[in-house]
DNA sequence: GCTATCTTGTTGACACTGTCAACAGCGAGG
DNA sequence: CCTCGCTGTTGACAGTGTCAACAAGATAGC
């Protein structure tokens, strides 16, 4: 039922869409379901989003904002090394507790990115958090090396998240102690890879 | 048009489905399109697959077989260290050249895994290739540590593949030299993380 | 050889989806 | 007052997955 409060339908659509995704999964998201949830006709959302993909892009954009906020709300630490660890933990915990939205952000083809500058901008903002921490970690490190390290760390985080979100891992008969401590183990491995030589 | 040769429709469906996926993407796959491609009625595939998801599972299963074959066909090397590198290169090249099928295997929720033991088995076989290489690399290493290393390396591979397959990376203004050499850089980082301490 | 049954494929229908087109109320500006 | 733009509605169309009823052809038992 449509809320009596004067919150614009445009924003309500995004919220309702996220509810549907959280309840019934990504593929179950349909414009008509959103409209039904808001108590409006099946065409009302079309006044604000020219297609299903445009609504999806708006949802993704908002997800990136939340994701970034979650990363920035990590446990504070003055030690840059430790700070990187906390950032990793924040990344992994978000991916775990919002696995459907995580897959939407990183595992779904973007609908016509050129048409959605907001989406791109918010995604870059999230990545910049990692860049920032690494910049503090390696004081006068060339930008290329920062990006290289960022890409490596991001790969580890994204890979572990993706593996855990999917159904593959549950069937691999992986040592249960390993599976449970995977986050810390991978973070430790990153620490090893980044430690200075010799 | 249905081939006159007596190849069973059941297998033709899987091949046709893979064609559709390769041509038009994952979400464009529909049972009716498959039937049309084979020149049969829209219900014919239902005689062999009780639902769209069952056909999808069959496709995924075959993809895992091909994936494993690609991994095993990697450049041979007696040096276990080098062999691990080659395995990584094979993984990354497969993910790059079959990005849609890769996403199907690892980025799509499995349809009722319990009902598809083949699918699970073939996925485990593929993972066992990595386990085997690591077992040769660390001769008398406990199984738990093997699994831990496998999970870490898999995370790196899967993460980099997923990032490159998605649309996110293209918009991050990453140093182009870094982007182009990402595969080797990440493999090198893995080597660093695995090297013995001190 | 004839019949019954199983396998494989066909046609037709239903509910659901995204999307287009035409229409309705309604507030702001001339 | 009257028009126009914004927002929302109703109705239609093609496409989808899936269920049900039917048809033809192979196969097994007698």
| Of the options 3.30.1330.10, 1.10.10.60, 1.10.10.10, 1.10.760.10, the CATH number for the domain spanning A1-49 | 1.10.10.60
Closest CA to B121 of A168, A159, A165, A174: A168
Angle value at C-alpha B190, between B189 and B193, nearest 5 degrees: 90
Supply A182's token pair. Answer: 């995977």
pLDDT band, residue B197 (cuts 50/70/90): confident
Among B91, B145, B168, most A C-beta atoms within 10 A, so best to mutate, is B168
Q: Judge if B1-49 and B58-194 fold alike in CATH terms.
A: no
Rounded distance between C-alpha atoms, residue B45 and residue B38, angstroms: 10
pLDDT band, residue A193 (cuts 50/70/90): very high
Rounded distance between C-alpha atoms, residue B84 and residue A65, angstroms: 38
What average pLDDT does the segment B102-130 reach?
Answer: 92
Query: Could you tell me which residues come within 8 angstroms of residue A114 by beta carbon, excluding any fewer than 6 positions away?
Result: none
Rounded distance between C-alpha atoms, residue B148 and residue B145, angstroms: 5
Integer angstrom CA distances of residue B138 from B81, B143, B185: 10, 10, 23
- Write out pLDDT tens, residues A132-182: 999 999 888 999 999 999 999 999 999 999 999 988 898 999 989 999 999
**pLDDT of A181:** 97
Interface list for B 7-26 with A (CB within 8 A): 25
Rounded distance between C-alpha atoms, residue B70 and residue B165, angstroms: 19
pLDDT band, residue A1 (cuts 50/70/90): very low
| Of the options 1.10.10.60, 3.40.50.300, 1.10.357.10, 3.40.50.720, the CATH number for the domain spanning B58-194 | 1.10.357.10
Question: What angle do helix axes B52-72 and B31-38 make, rounded to 10 degrees?
Answer: 70
* Residue B9 · residue B44 · CB < 8 Å: yes
Query: Which residue would you say has higher pLDDT here, A152 or B140?
Result: A152
Supply A67's token pair. Answer: 């994701």
Subunit contact A109:B147, Cβ cutoff 8 A: no
What average pLDDT does the segment B130-147 reach?
Answer: 94
What average pLDDT does the segment B127-142 reach?
Answer: 94
Question: Residue ranges of the domains in chain B?
Answer: 1-49, 58-194
Rounded distance between C-alpha atoms, residue B101 and residue B196, angstroms: 36
- Write out pLDDT tens, residues B15-25: 999 999 999 89
Integer angstrom CA distances of residue A12 from A2, A36, A145, B124, B171: 9, 12, 43, 43, 28
Rounded distance between C-alpha atoms, residue B108 and residue A161, angstroms: 14
**pLDDT of A6:** 64
Question: Contacts of strand C, CB cut-off 7 Å?
Answer: A 29-33, 42-43, 46, 50-53; B 9, 35, 40-44, 46-48
Rounded distance between C-alpha atoms, residue A52 and residue A61, angstroms: 14
* Residue B59 · residue B14 · CB < 8 Å: yes
CB-CB neighbours of B156 under 10 Å: 28
**Residue A60: HSE in the Cβ half-sphere, 13 Å Cα cutoff:** 28
Question: What angle do helix axes A117-137 and A143-165 make, rounded to 10 degrees?
Answer: 110
What average pLDDT does the segment B46-74 reach?
Answer: 96
A60-194: CATH topology is Tetracycline Repressor; domain 2 (1.10.357)
pLDDT band, residue B3 (cuts 50/70/90): very low
Rg (chain B; Cα; Å): 19
Closest CA to B165 of A60, A155, A100, A124: A155
Supply A170's token pair. Answer: 């549950």
What average pLDDT does the segment B171-179 reach?
Answer: 91
What average pLDDT does the segment A109-137 reach?
Answer: 92
**Residue A120: HSE in the Cβ half-sphere, 13 Å Cα cutoff:** 13
* Residue B64 · residue B102 · CB < 8 Å: no
CB of A154 within 8 Å of any CB in chain B? yes
CA of A60 to C1' of D19 (A): 36
- Write out pLDDT tens, residues A26-78: 988 999 999 999 999 999 999 999 999 999 999 999 999 999 999 999 999 99
* Residue A57 · residue A50 · CB < 8 Å: no
**pLDDT of B198:** 66
pLDDT greater than 80 at residue B184: yes
Among A132, A167, A181, most B C-beta atoms within 10 A, so best to mutate, is A167
Question: How many percent of chain B have pLDDT more than 70?
Answer: 96
Buried b (16+ CB within 10 A) or exposed e, B121-133: ebbbebbebbbeb
- Write out pLDDT tens, residues B67-82: 999 999 999 999 999 9
* Residue B158 · residue A124 · CB < 8 Å: no
What average pLDDT does the segment A88-114 reach?
Answer: 93
pLDDT greater than 60 at residue A2: no
**pLDDT of A115:** 84
Rounded distance between C-alpha atoms, residue B125 and residue A171, angstroms: 11
What SS3 class is residue B16? Answer: helix
Interface list for A 32-51 with B (CB within 8 A): none
pLDDT band, residue A4 (cuts 50/70/90): very low
* Residue A185 · residue B148 · CB < 8 Å: yes
CA dihedral B178, B195, B129, A104 (to 10 degrees): -40
């Amino acid at each position: 039922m449509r809320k009596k409060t004067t919150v614009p339908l445009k924003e309500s659509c995004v919220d309702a869409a996220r509810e549907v995704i959280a309840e019934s999964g990504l593929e179950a998201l349909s414009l008509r379901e959103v409209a039904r949830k808001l108590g409006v006709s099946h065409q009302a959302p079309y006044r604000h989003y020219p297609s299903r993909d445009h609504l999806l892009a708006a949802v993704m954009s908002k997800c990136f904002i939340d994701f970034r906020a979650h990363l920035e709300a990590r446990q504070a630490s003055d030690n840059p090394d430790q700070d990187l660890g906390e950032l990793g933990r924040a990344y992994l915990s978000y991916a775990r507790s919002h696995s459907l939205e995580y897959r939407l952000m990183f595992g779904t083809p973007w609908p016509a990115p050129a048409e959605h500058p907001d989406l791109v901008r918010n995604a870059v903002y999230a990545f910049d958090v990692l860049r920032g921490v690494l910049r503090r970690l390696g004081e006068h490190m060339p930008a290329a090396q920062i990006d290289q390290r960022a890409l490596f760390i991001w790969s580890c985080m994204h890979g572990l998240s993706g593996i855990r979100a999917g159904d593959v891992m549950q069937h691999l008969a992986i040592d249960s102690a390993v599976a449970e401590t995977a986050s810390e183990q991978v973070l430790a491995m990153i620490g090893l890879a980044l430690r200075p030589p010799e």
